[in-house]
A and B are shown apart, each in its own frame.
Chain A
């Protein structure tokens, strides 16, 4: 038997900390770093976003064909698992780095920074980054590019702009692709254009038929290339 009656415990201490940490800022900061690095090497970078099947790869192929004499071009191609598109673009004689995200539905500034390590920035002037096919999430994650392009196509239906307004808020150029199918799809491209401008008045809208290369010249102008 002991005389122990009570045990005195050091009191648990409850306290608050205020980290004020912006989770999205981590990506934004990395994006700024990418931008500075690209600027230092005088590389113009363009982020191409849009749904699966909107025509991003076809447009990039046509842009590469139109611009490869004027610029030394590299392309980063984001996809979950395959390198099908990367190989398609590679056929045009430009350097391509495939970025496989595994499961992620978008590229982020960190993945782009890792892809940048794979190329010699001294050897290029223009970089296209084709984002993962997805009209929503990529817009949340800036990559550090000078310009952002959103590609939509008339086969996605007449409401894709009003349904996805957030995707256009950070865009510099919006492409409405597959204009040759507009009539069959009963989609008015003029109306889509107005809806984009309503969300962001300074966005440049270009209507294209990427497979035939129609509107590519206008797109080159809109990108200031």
Chain B
């Protein structure tokens, strides 16, 4: 995934004839499987020997949002902290009516902004 991010940024920079990329702003949904720590780690390695070397990676997290097709409820996805396993479990049950809700936000990994030097 991080390879794809870096390749996409490099492609955009090439289109703009940029000499250097100085900042990359990402939004990562909390319902993706991307670990921010790992993305940062891979990013540092992948940008070596590219015009992105030394660039700042700014990551904004986006919460999950669910919508209930039965009652129309829309809100942030609840997670249940299970003290027994120490894991937050996402709950796709509508908190209003208990029916199955759909995920509408939180599954994205978007390159929002790239700052570069020409």
A contact set with B: CB distance below 8 Å: 12-26, 136-137, 139-140, 159, 162-163, 165-166, 169, 198-202
Contact = CB atoms under 8 A, between A and B. Distances in A.
Given A19-B12, A24-B109, A162 B85 contact: yes
A20 B111 contact: yes
Given A19-B12, A159-B85, A169-B103, A12 B19 contact: yes
Contacts of B31: 166, 169
A93 B76 CA distance: 48
Nearest to A162: B85
Most chain B C-beta atoms within 10 Å of own C-beta, residue among A18, A24, A140, A169:
A24
B96 interface: no
Interface string B78-109: 00101001010111110000111001000111
A135 to B, nearest CB: 11
B interface residue count range (under 10 / 10 to 19 / 20 to 34 / 35 or more): 35 or more
Contacts, number: 95
A21 B33 contact: no
Interface of B: 1, 4-5, 8, 12, 16, 19, 22, 31-33, 80, 82, 85, 87, 89-93, 98-100, 103, 107-118
Nearest to B92: A200
Nearest to A27: B4
Nearest to A197: B93
Contacts of A140: 32-33
Given A18-B113, A24-B108, A24-B109, A166 B5 contact: no
B104 to A, nearest CB: 13
Most buried by B among A21, A22, A200: A21
Contacts of B82: 162
Given A21-B110, A23-B4, A201 B115 contact: no
Contacts of A137: 33
Contacts of A163: 85, 87
Contact of B92 (A21, A26, A162, A169): A169
8 contacts: A14-B116, A17-B16, A17-B114, A21-B12, A24-B108, A165-B87, A202-B99, A202-B100
B24 to A, nearest CB: 10
Nearest to B2: A23
